[in-house]
């Protein structure tokens, strides 16, 4: 049995929580890049660039370099998009976790602790887009501690808190590239409600979407 416990966040956990969040977000960079490469628009751009330069230049090296630079530019844009979200989160709810989650009604922030170290996080607060529901946020488990039931325990903690507070459902949002998270939520009884594009311009171009999941606690009974 995995040796961990779930407890409420304490102020001394702040830096570890932020580091867990940042590293967890950055794990999605490779899969996001692969998603962009599979997009028809990206493939057409790369092919057109390569073929046009091959037809107009006397060098094979030039089109190869051009395609390489395009790929590097695409990857940099993805990094920029992720960094923007990370920076905004660190400046907003994660800048003062106690104020955001512990001092307001129907909100809480928990950490998973193993051998004295914080190895996982989860939070919830009233959903802005769905009155009467709580929203699960900031789910993250350190890579070295995955597969030990920590994420499931964190999910159950939010569900129990939501039920105790008299709310009928938990909702959450996760990205299309977070496939492991999607499998976890579906295993825990969450149902996929809708998929929609991220509003940022570049995200729309690369067809990067978010997925909304919902756990109906009345049905769960």
pLDDT at 158: 98
pLDDT < 70 positions in the chain: 1-2, 219-221
Q: SS in 3 state form for 39-70?
A: CHHHHHHHHHHHHHHHHHCCCCHHHHHHHHHH
pLDDT at 200: 82
| Annotated domain spans of the chain | 1-220
pLDDT at 213: 98
pLDDT at 85: 94
pLDDT at 116: 93
CATH architecture for the domain at 1-220: 3-Layer(aba) Sandwich (3.40)
pLDDT at 220: 54
Cα angle at 179 between 47 and 117, to 5 degrees? 125
CA 140 – CA 126 distance, rounded (Å) = 19
Q: pLDDT digits over 101-135, tens only?
A: 999 999 999 999 999 999 999 999 999 888 889 99
């Amino acid at each position: 049995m995995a040796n961990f416990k779930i407890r409420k966040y304490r102020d001394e956990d702040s830096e570890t929580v932020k580091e867990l969040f940042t590293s967890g977000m950055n794990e999605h960079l490779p899969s996001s890049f692969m998603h962009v490469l599979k997009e028809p628009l990206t493939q057409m751009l790369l092919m057109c660039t390569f073929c046009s330069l091959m037809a107009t230049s006397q060098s094979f090296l030039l089109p190869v370099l051009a395609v390489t630079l395009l790929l590097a530019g695409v990857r940099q844009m993805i990094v920029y998009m992720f960094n923007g979200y990370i920076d905004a989160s660190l400046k907003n709810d994660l800048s003062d976790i106690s104020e955001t989650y512990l001092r307001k009604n129907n909100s809480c922030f928990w950490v998973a602790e193993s051998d004295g170290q914080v190895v996982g996080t989860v939070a919830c607060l009233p959903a802005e887009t769905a009155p009467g529901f709580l929203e699960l946020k900031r789910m993250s488990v350190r890579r070295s501690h995955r597969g030990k039931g920590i994420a499931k325990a964190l999910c159950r903690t939010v569900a129990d808190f939501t039920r105790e507070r008299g709310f009928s459902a938990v909702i959450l949002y996760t990205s299309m590239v977070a496939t492991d998270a999607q499998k976890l939520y579906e295993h825990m009884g969450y149902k996929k409600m809708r998929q929609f594009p991220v509003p940022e311009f570049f995200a729309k171009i690369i067809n990067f979407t978010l997925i909304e999941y919902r756990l109906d606690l009345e049905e769960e009974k």
